[in-house]
Amino acid sequence: MPRYCYVNGRFTPHNQGAVHIEDRGYQFADGVYEVVTVADGKLVDEEGHMARLDRSLKELRMPAPMKRAVLQLKMRELIRLNGLTDGLVYMQVTRGVAPRNHAFPAEDTPPALVMTTKRMDFASMRKFTDGVSVVTRPDLRWARCDIKTVSLLPNCLAKQEAYEAGAYEAWLVKENGEVTEGSSSNAWIVTADGKLITRPPTNEILNGITRRTIITLAAEEGLTFEERAFSVDEAHAAAECFVSSATSFVTPVVKVDDAVIGDGSPGPLSRKLLDAYKDYIAGRRDRAA
């Protein structure tokens, strides 16, 4: 089956998709994006992702490329064209095409929209059963990490260092030793007394849609939860750790830097939340708000 993408009003073969050389996303990283999981042909947490896209656009004073309902129809058509059952939809909105100038172009410049899909076999991913390792690296990003922009170079550099260290993810750390989040995920620990900890959603982290769902699921499971910063030392000494994102779900972390977490295998609370999340995306429990 041929693979299709969506580029500025047209569905086109993926290998023919192209944007203008003066697209501001290319020249200035002047754009935002969303990644929505597709499970069994259904979009997971769709409304949450759409609301966050609207917020990101508003924070950058960027108009929406089309009404939300129309965009959702375009997403579904792309999923249908690509025969996607499990995977993700990636969408990116930039401020559009204009002669290169740091200042915003004329207000009537139409924003640019591209969408692609990617197949993923979630059921066979060993990270869920075996766990992963993370390394800690300095957080060098800008001060508005709550906006999901395409300006991801510091994240890419951290992820590359993790890859070169044989790790799945890099946890980004402030000068005071506090973990903010991962290069492409939110960071969580479980304390020795069973308390679930993750950083509150300020401008220093992206308020993950999966993160918000996990908080709801944790409450439904009766788990003790606290939103606060935690340090690298706390992570090293934690009973359990995990990361979350649209495609990581709840991925157990079994090693942070050189510190083995727990007994070196996914812990019971991480497994419980992963099972709850899988039930959630499969529609076997009520959708979280």
Catalytic residue positions, numbered:
148
Beta carbons of 217 and 280 less than 8 angstroms apart: yes
Pairing label, strands 42-43, 186-190: unpaired
Beta strands in 4-94 (DSSP E): 4-7, 10-13, 31-39, 42-43, 87-94
- For the record, the structure tokens of 183 come out as 């290069």
Distances (CA, A) of 204 to 29, 85, 141, 143, 174: 19, 34, 9, 6, 10
Q: How many CA atoms lie less than 13 Å away from 105 in the CB half-sphere?
A: 19
Beta carbons of 182 and 171 less than 8 angstroms apart: yes
- What kind and span of H or E run contains 146? none
